[in-house]
């Protein structure tokens, strides 16, 4: 057994991979986002973001519309508070040619019904609903003077894996150059579309959660160097 694992390690150490670097940055009106800092909104109102956490999963690369590489066990919890969570390397098999990058924003339904998971999916990461099973795909919390809720807080916990409230989003980009996938989200773009006076929290699977998830997915941009 030991010998087999040993042989396997020799073999795999000779298998070559191309390292593709993934990174995602957050901005607010094109400046680097700082959590817990007040930003001006529409010139008069203010907004502060306290929590920004979400899942990226099922990363794959495509060439001419065909999937040519899929990341194994592809679940990444991105947390704006933890710089190291916003960048990682993808071990793509050497020689794979690709022109498109695809991923899911959120967690698929099969994973949602498969019991307790580890690593980034561990329920102790506070991205799992407890009163009703299911992952929170996207968590955005903060404060704004426009919010009528207690302490002017807004809380958007977006999730839901079952019809008709499945809110996972597929996102893809055509890559102008390989080896570096650099994404960006400008939070001002997301926040400016929210109407805090009418809706300041989402805590369960719903049509509002689906709408907001879809809108956020469209705000993810490829950063062209």
Partner 1 sequence: MKKSFILLFIYVYLFSSFRILNEKSFIVPTGFPEPAYDFSKNILTTEKIELGRALFYDPILSRDNSISCSSCHSVYNSFAHTDHDLSHGIDDLIGTRNAPALINLAWHKSFMWDGAVNHLEVQALAPITHPKEMDESMNHIVFKLSQSDLYTKLFMNAYNDTSITGEKILKALTQFQLIFVSSSSRYDSMTQKQIKFTYQEENGYNLFKKNCNTCHAEPLFSTYTFANNGLGLDTTLNDFGRMQITKERSDSLKFKIPTLRNIEYSPPYMHDGRFKSLFAVLNHYTSGIHQTTNLAPELKSPIILSENEKVDLIAFLLTLSDKKFIFNPDFSYPRELFAK
What are 30-35's contacts with CB under 8 Å, separation 24+? 30/186, 33/80, 33/187, 35/80, 35/81
Number of residues written out for the chain: 225
Q: Which is nearer to partner 1, 13 or 177 (CB)?
A: 13
* Pairing of the two strands 180-186 and 17-28: parallel
Q: Does 1 bind partner 1 (CB under 8 A)?
A: yes
Q: 7 or 97: whose CB is closer to partner 1?
A: 7
Candidate list 83, 132, 174, 177; residue touching partner 1; CB under 8 A: 132
- Residue 81 binding partner 1, by CB under 8 A: no
Taking CA atoms, 24 is separated from 56, 84, 85, 177, in Å, by 11, 10, 9, 16
43 or 118: CB nearest partner 1: 118
For the record, the structure tokens of 63 come out as 């060439």
Count of H-run helices and E-run strands, the chain: 4, 14
How far is residue 123's CA from residue 91's CA, in Å, rounded to a whole number?
Answer: 26
Exactly one of 19, 64, 73, 124 binds partner 1 (CB under 8 A); that residue is: 124
Using alpha carbons only, give the angle 41, 181, 104 rounded to the nearest 5 degrees: 75
Minimum CB–partner distance for residue 97 and partner 1 (Å): 31
**With binding defined as CB under 8 A, does residue 110 bind partner 1?**
no
Q: Is 15 in the site for partner 1 (CB under 8 A)?
A: no
126 binds partner 1 (CB under 8 A): yes
Is residue 82 part of the contact set for partner 1 (CB under 8 A)?
A: no
Nearer to partner 1, 48 or 120 (CB): 120
Going by the DSSP 8-state scheme, the letter that residue 12 receives in this structure is H
125 binding partner 1? (CB under 8 A):
yes
Query: Does residue 192 belong to the site contacting partner 1 (CB under 8 A)?
Result: no
Point out which residues bind partner 1 (CB under 8 A). Answer: 1-2, 5-6, 9-10, 13, 112-118, 121-126, 128, 130-134
């Amino acid at each position: 057994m030991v010998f087999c694992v040993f042989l396997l390690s020799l073999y795999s150490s000779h298998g070559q991979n191309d390292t593709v670097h993934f990174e995602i940055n957050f901005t607010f009106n094109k400046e680097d986002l700082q959590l817990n800092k007040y930003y001006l909104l529409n010139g008069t109102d203010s907004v502060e973001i306290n929590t920004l956490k979400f899942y990226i999963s099922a990363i794959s690369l495509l060439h001419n519309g065909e999937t040519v590489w899929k990341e194994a066990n592809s679940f990444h919890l991105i947390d704006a508070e933890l710089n190291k969570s916003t960048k990682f390397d993808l071990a793509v098999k050497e020689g794979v040619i690709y022109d498109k990058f695809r991923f899911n924003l959120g967690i698929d339904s099969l994973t949602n019904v498969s019991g307790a998971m580890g690593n980034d999916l561990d329920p102790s990461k506070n991205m799992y609903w407890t009163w009703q099973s299911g992952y929170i795909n996207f968590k955005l919390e903060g404060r704004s003077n426009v919010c009528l809720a207690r302490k002017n807080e807004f809380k958007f916990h977006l999730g839901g894996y079952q019809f008709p409230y499945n809110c996972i989003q597929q996102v893809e980009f055509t890559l102008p150059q390989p080896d570096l996938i650099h994404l960006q989200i400008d939070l001002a773009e997301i926040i400016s579309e929210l109407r805090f006076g009418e809706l300041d929290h989402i805590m369960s699977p719903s049509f509002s959660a689906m709408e907001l998830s879809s809108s956020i997915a469209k705000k993810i941009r490829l950063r062209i160097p």
